[in-house]
Amino acid sequence: MKADRVVRSTCPYCGVGCQVLLNVKDDHIFRIDAPFDAAPNYGRLCVKGRFGADYVHHPDRLKTPLIRKTPPRPGHRTAAQFPADWREATWDEALTAAAQGLARIRQSYGPDAITANACAKATNEDNYLHQKLMRGVLGTNNVDHCARLCHAGSVTGLQLAIGSSAMSNSIAEMKDLECFIVVGSNTTETHPVISTFLKDAVTKNGAKLIVVDPRQTEMTRFAALWLRQKPGTDVAVFNAMAHVIVKEGLMNQDFIGARTEGFSEYIESLEDKTPEWAESVSGVPASDIRAAARMYATAGRAAFYWGMGISQSTHGTDNTLTLTNLALMTGHVGQPGTGLNPLRGQNNVQGCSDSGGLPNVFTAYQSVTNAGIRAKFEQFWFDGDSARRLPAQPGLTVTEMVDGILTGQVKGWWVMGENPLMSEPNLRHAQEAIEQLEFFVAQDIFFNETNVFADVILPAAAFAEKDGTFTNSDRRVQRVRRAINPPGEARADWQIICDLAKRLEAELGLSSAGWDYSHPSEIWEEMRQLTPDFGGIDYARLEREGGVHWPCPAFDHPGTPYLFADDFPSGRGKFFAVEFGTGSELPDADYPFILSTGRVLYHWHGGTMTRASALDDIWPECTVELHPNDAARLGLQTGQWVDVASRRGKITVRLLVTGRSPEGTVFIPFHFAEAAANVLTDNRIDKRAKIPDYKVCGVQLTRAAEIPARAGADIPLEDRGTIKDITAVTV
Ligand SMILES: Nc1nc2c(c(=O)[nH]1)N[C@H]1C(S)=C(S)[C@@H](COP(=O)(O)OP(=O)(O)OC[C@H]3O[C@@H](n4cnc5c(=O)[nH]c(N)nc54)[C@H](O)[C@@H]3O)O[C@H]1N2
Ligand SMILES: Nc1nc2c(c(=O)[nH]1)N[C@H]1C(S)=C(S)[C@@H](COP(=O)(O)OP(=O)(O)OC[C@H]3O[C@@H](n4cnc5c(=O)[nH]c(N)nc54)[C@H](O)[C@@H]3O)O[C@H]1N2
Ligand code: SF4
Ligand SMILES: [Mo]
């Protein structure tokens, strides 16, 4: 078929930020491919980028604003059924209802009784305006997003150690790696195109890969060494590697002297962290820990790449600090092919944070507690209206918002493009909170498990229906371009926010903070002027160069593919002594298995998008992975239905017996509403990062009654997607 037009854009799924070509005929995207000459993917795409964006055409897309027929009383808020409990509304009615509801909460309880979730799927421009509305119009810093459930442990650890949490090196450098450690990242399924560059480094350039993961990910097939630790024991393994490096004198003394502080105090803490001790805690043979330490420390260039296995823990900050300690003592940071690289998850989670979608910072991490920075934003936004001031107190995090509703501190909520009733830990706890809300506005492209609790739903345009920018995992700002029209009356998030802001200002009797943008490029221009790190990036340059890595302070600056060449934002890098321990729920006699949750290649988070895509036919249902020895003890077989229960709830899923998960640990992906893994997970958090543990809690398994397989789910489990490949690997 010949396309009417081919539009270059950025994939809407993961943080790799692959460039895509949307082939459009009759306002329909009929094919997606990739430009061969463009970073970061150079023609490569994974199955989601190539075949998974068909959700934009799904008939269930939200097409008109909706207002709930009978407003619920607090404590009696339930999920409203469509269409029975909703009525279609005009934009004017829906925006007025949303503005009046939020204004009422502000007037009755003050600005901090309202919280909002920004959206790591939406553009930088959408998210910039979202926080501008919250801070500038409603007057609260209660803005946060899914980054809290994601790399918060990494961010907090990196901030403590080096003062910056961005991925330090670029995707382009991966092919030149000499040695690298992939830890707690199922890279082939979650950052598939990055995984191809990492695999190239091994197979084409002879790089040495060390995988540190309890689960047998596909990356282990490429590894020179695989350290299979018990879940939650990373601190012991990495402390012991540091112990070996110090005992064998493999440190980089020049780097330690010139660029770091606190080393001598820190090494005292390593004295008893022997590999033998770490083996007793983690199950990883001491000889492998020694080998990994030597391989990493003696390489000319070596880097860390990590994911949720490090971050999502009640000791996620500690986990991260053990990685920063190793990079600092070996000097493996600040040069090409080295670094500390948390692989960012959502397509625009980097950008959502960079745009100010966090409770403590404006754009590019400019602190809300800094009076000078507030004055700059006040001057720009309020144009000399001295009656308007920005709030100085950092706001609530996503995890604190849920608790804030339960304690009565929070009464109103605005969720732009998130699905907390699939993604929060301990869903019953999260739902109890949502039931207490006085007013709830949601803005999404679909109905989801959360927004059916809302009072007003505002239908948003999806990525292919709007202009803007996303910032990928290596801080590359790239264009998103409108290729097709949104369905029905759906509108781009930035347009919805401008209209909502104007109505709110009218309700609250405020002057206008300037909401008349005719195109997202004008919004970016405002961000650029307020943000020194974006100073050299504008739409014209993005058009010419395809993408620019921030920090980029001036138009003649090339952008910054790798960070920390000369110094760290905090000056010297800091060492931190870390003791092994956990606040997470461990298995016991009643709940004897560790539950580990995560992802599969074909699905995305709560499934809103991928389950409305052709990918759902390939991977139609949830499974729980159980080790063959455990299955034999329990007398269970692949394909049987089992109840998986924790202290928080129970789900029923089909069993997949595989050596992929270690003995004593079961793995469940969290994509499937009919068997939502977060019914089981625990909401205890890391005290510093406020992130929950999605990788360790206690569960039990029992045989359940057979449930007829749904259509499409009759393909033998072993024959689905990548499962076949994985079981073929010997354990
Ligand atoms: N297909 C797909 N891709 C995605 C997503 C998706 O939903 N679907 N989501 C995106 C997002 S937002 C994110 S944040 C990323 C996440 O990407 P990843 O972090 O790669 O994904 P996860 O499946 O959560 O888990 C990663 C790994 O942590 C390991 N792990 C479990 N416990 C431990 C432990 O105690 N220590 C260590 N070291 N490892 C452990 C698991 O075995 C698993 O291999 O993926 C992104 N990409
Ligand atoms: N058990 C368990 N739970 C987890 C994790 C885990 O590993 N295990 N991982 C956590 C992590 S790392 C993350 S990042 C979170 C993710 O958690 P969420 O962000 O809540 O998950 P998504 O399903 O990605 O939600 C995105 C929503 O945005 C909507 N959307 C898509 N595009 C647009 C748009 O352009 N505009 C608007 N307005 N809406 C849009 C989608 O329809 C969907 O409803 O989940 C966390 N939860
Ligand atoms: S690797 Fe990520 S960005 Fe690239 S096509 Fe796949 S989901 Fe999209
Ligand atoms: Mo994430």
- In 3D space, the residue among 643, 127, 628, 682 whose CA is nearest the CA of residue 350 turns out to be 127
The enclosing domain of 294 has a CATH number of 3.40.228.10
Residue ending a domain, choose from 343, 366, 390: 343
H or E element, residue 480: strand 476-480
Rounded Cα–Cα distance for residues 571 and 626 (Å)? 47
Rounded Cα–Cα distance for residues 310 and 581 (Å)? 14
Q: Report the pLDDT value the prediction gives residue 415, as an integer from 0 to 100.
A: 98
Q: Is 457 in the pocket of ligand 2 (CB under 6 A)?
A: no
Task: State whether 139 and 160 are in the same domain.
Answer: no
**Per-residue confidence at 725, pLDDT binned at 50, 70, 90?**
very low
Q: Is 419 in the pocket of ligand 2 (CB under 6 A)?
A: yes
The residue whose CA is least distant from atom 8 of ligand 3 is 49
Q: Is 609 in the pocket of ligand 3 (CB under 6 A)?
A: no
Per-residue burial over 94-103, b if 16 or more Cβ lie within 10 Å, else e, is bbbbbbebbb
Q: Which ligand approaches the C-alpha of residue 320 most closely?
A: 1
Q: Is 695 in the pocket of ligand 1 (CB under 6 A)?
A: yes
Task: State whether 163 and 127 are in the same domain.
Answer: no
Task: State whether 157 and 131 are in the same domain.
Answer: no
Residue ending a domain, choose from 314, 343, 372: 343
**Per-residue confidence at 646, pLDDT binned at 50, 70, 90?**
very high
Range 532-547 average pLDDT: 97
Q: Is 345 in the pocket of ligand 2 (CB under 6 A)?
A: yes
Q: Report the pLDDT value the prediction gives residue 719, as an integer from 0 to 100.
A: 57
Which atom in ligand 2 lies closest to the alpha carbon of residue 151?
12
pLDDT exceeds 90 at position 25: yes
pLDDT exceeds 70 at position 727: no
- Rounded to two decimals, what is the model's pTM? 0.96
- Of 605, 648, 684, 686, the residue with max ligand 2 atoms within 8 A of its CB, to mutate for a pocket test, comes to 605
Instruction: State how beta strands 573-574 and 260-261 pair.
Output: parallel
pLDDT exceeds 70 at position 710: no
Query: Are 246 and 233 a contacting pair, CB within 8 Å?
Result: no
- In 3D space, the residue among 78, 42, 38, 83 whose CA is nearest the CA of residue 62 turns out to be 83
Task: State whether 129 and 47 are in the same domain.
Answer: no
pLDDT exceeds 50 at position 726: no
Which atom in ligand 1 lies closest to the alpha carbon of residue 346?
12
Inside any domain, residue 557 = no
Q: Which ligand approaches the C-alpha of residue 229 most closely?
A: 1
Q: Is 146 in the pocket of ligand 2 (CB under 6 A)?
A: yes
pLDDT exceeds 70 at position 731: no
Which atom in ligand 2 lies closest to the alpha carbon of residue 450?
44
Q: Is 13 in the pocket of ligand 3 (CB under 6 A)?
A: yes
Q: What is the tally of structural domains in the chain?
A: 4
H or E element, residue 441: strand 439-444
Tokens (6 digits) for 25: 């005929």
pLDDT per residue as tens digits for the range 398-423: 989 999 999 999 999 999 999 999 99
For ligand 4, the distance from its centroid to the CA atom of residue 564, given in whole angstroms, is 25
Q: What angle do CA 475, 479, 485 make, to 5 degrees?
A: 140
Inside any domain, residue 554 = no
- In 3D space, the residue among 10, 60, 77 whose CA is nearest the CA of residue 38 turns out to be 10
- Of 61, 121, 434, 653, the residue with max ligand 2 atoms within 8 A of its CB, to mutate for a pocket test, comes to 121
The residue whose CA is least distant from atom 17 of ligand 2 is 423
Residue ending a domain, choose from 343, 378, 413: 343
The enclosing domain of 447 has a CATH number of 3.40.50.740
pLDDT exceeds 90 at position 625: yes
Which atom in ligand 3 lies closest to the alpha carbon of residue 47?
6
Inside any domain, residue 565 = no
Percent of the chain with pLDDT over 90: 91
Which atom in ligand 2 lies closest to the alpha carbon of residue 446?
42
Q: Is 559 in the pocket of ligand 1 (CB under 6 A)?
A: no
Rounded Cα–Cα distance for residues 624 and 641 (Å)? 9
Range 271-293 average pLDDT: 98
Rounded Cα–Cα distance for residues 146 and 189 (Å)? 20
Task: State whether 179 and 310 are in the same domain.
Answer: yes
Q: Report the pLDDT value the prediction gives residue 706, as an integer from 0 to 100.
A: 80
- C-alpha distances (whole Å) from 71 to each of 145, 575, 731 are 26, 54, 56
Identify the DSSP state of 661: S
Q: Report the pLDDT value the prediction gives residue 717, as an integer from 0 to 100.
A: 63
Task: State whether 192 and 337 are in the same domain.
Answer: yes
For ligand 1, the distance from its centroid to the CA atom of residue 344, given in whole angstroms, is 10
Inside any domain, residue 578 = no
Rounded Cα–Cα distance for residues 492 and 272 (Å)? 57
Which atom in ligand 3 lies closest to the alpha carbon of residue 472?
3
Helix, strand and coil content of the chain, in percent to the nearest 5, comes to 35, 20, 45
Task: State whether 433 and 530 are in the same domain.
Answer: yes
Range 530-537 average pLDDT: 98
Which atom in ligand 2 lies closest to the alpha carbon of residue 606?
23
Rounded Cα–Cα distance for residues 280 and 492 (Å)? 54
Range 147-164 average pLDDT: 94
pLDDT exceeds 70 at position 512: yes
Q: How far is CA 438 from the centre of its chain?
A: 28
Rounded Cα–Cα distance for residues 144 and 141 (Å)? 9
pLDDT per residue as tens digits for the range 672-683: 999 999 999 999
Rounded Cα–Cα distance for residues 87 and 69 (Å)? 6
Rounded Cα–Cα distance for residues 434 and 216 (Å)? 37
Task: State whether 678 and 609 are in the same domain.
Answer: yes
Lowest mean pLDDT among 117-131, 556-570, 629-643: 556-570
pLDDT exceeds 90 at position 95: yes
Q: Is 352 in the pocket of ligand 1 (CB under 6 A)?
A: no
The residue whose CA is least distant from atom 8 of ligand 1 is 604
The enclosing domain of 600 has a CATH number of 2.40.40.20
Task: State whether 372 and 442 are in the same domain.
Answer: yes
pLDDT exceeds 80 at position 348: yes
* Residue 426 zone, left/alpha/beta (φ > 0; ψ -120 to 50; rest): left
Inside any domain, residue 43 = yes
Task: State whether 380 and 522 are in the same domain.
Answer: yes
The residue whose CA is least distant from atom 42 of ligand 1 is 215
Range 80-106 average pLDDT: 97
For ligand 3, the distance from its centroid to the CA atom of residue 23, given in whole angstroms, is 17
Inside any domain, residue 544 = no
For ligand 2, the distance from its centroid to the CA atom of residue 116, given in whole angstroms, is 14
- Of 193, 480, 600, the residue with max ligand 3 atoms within 8 A of its CB, to mutate for a pocket test, comes to 193
Which atom in ligand 3 lies closest to the alpha carbon of residue 20?
5
Task: State whether 516 and 499 are in the same domain.
Answer: yes
Q: Is 693 in the pocket of ligand 2 (CB under 6 A)?
A: no
**Range of the structural domain that residue 23 is part of:** 5-57
Range 345-369 average pLDDT: 97
- Average predicted confidence (pLDDT) for the chain: 95
Range 248-257 average pLDDT: 98
Residues with CB under 5 A from ligand 4 (ion): 150, 345
Task: State whether 445 and 332 are in the same domain.
Answer: no
Inside any domain, residue 32 = yes
For ligand 1, the distance from its centroid to the CA atom of residue 570, given in whole angstroms, is 29
Percent of the chain with pLDDT over 70: 97
The SS3 of residue 64 is coil
pLDDT exceeds 90 at position 75: no
The enclosing domain of 25 has a CATH number of 2.20.25.90
Give the contacts of 387 (CB within 8 A, at least 6 positions apart): 511
Q: Give the residue ranges of DSSP H helices in 18-135.
A: 47-51, 91-109, 124-132
Q: Report the pLDDT value the prediction gives residue 319, as an integer from 0 to 100.
A: 98
Inside any domain, residue 355 = yes
Which atom in ligand 1 lies closest to the alpha carbon of residue 604?
7
Q: Report the pLDDT value the prediction gives residue 729, as an integer from 0 to 100.
A: 32
